[in-house]
Amino acid sequence: MRSFFKKFCKSAPHLTQQEIIKLPLPRHLAIIMDGNGRWAKKKGLPRAAGHRAGAETLRLIVETCLEVGMPYLTVYAFSTENWKRPPEEVKALMALLVEYIEKELQQLKQNGVKIKTIGNISELPSTAISRVQKAEKETAHNHKLVLQIALNYGGRKEILDAVKSIAGEVASGRLPVATIDTATMEEHLYTAGVPDPDLLIRTAGELRLSNFLLWQFAYTEFWFTEVFWPDFKVHHLYQAIYDYQYRQRRFGGLK
């Protein structure tokens, strides 16, 4: 496993922010924040402690994205499959979501962060729904960084919802079948108006997408690390960006 990660990482110790911003940054970064529970177990702590530590890492990464001028950040916070976890863990995650918003909202507003959620938040607890809606409303006019939080999100569900919406427009006569194209599909996705991610980071050693942004990742560059999310630091982010900057993105064409 370690040889796999070394194979796809360009050696660049002691990277600085000044070095990173010399080359074009990814416009849109997506992160699967994995490993909170395993981090906690390794330290003999409850899983909730891992999620709380992961929230601190998220705060650090948001701040760094603001500093380097990255305009879009999407994080996978809670999937449609996460409801299968023990009820006490789900309850702790929802409580942490509320706490994070209450604690960070004012600073996010001041820093120009726009909060946007993707997924079906109507199935969340009422307190979580109200806090999320408040955060979206109060940051709606910000534009320095769009922080897109995937909550009760599933990539297959997103595609199905888009297809159903398009089918409804066709059935009503408002949309001719012959005019349906890629742009039509993207207009009906949860992420409408947001560019596809340039770079995906997944922590904790897993090498799968876990039903995340299945349409949007068509030409995204992937970067995996064995580091658990609570241990993910700014220098790890810089390493991922550095590796991305030295890849050739041909989008199916030639160099």
Active site residues: 34, 82
Angle CA 28–21–247, to nearest 5: 60
Burial 222-237 (b: 16+ CB within 10 A, else e): bbbbebbbbbbebebb
> Whole-angstrom Cα distance, residue 155 to residue 90?
20
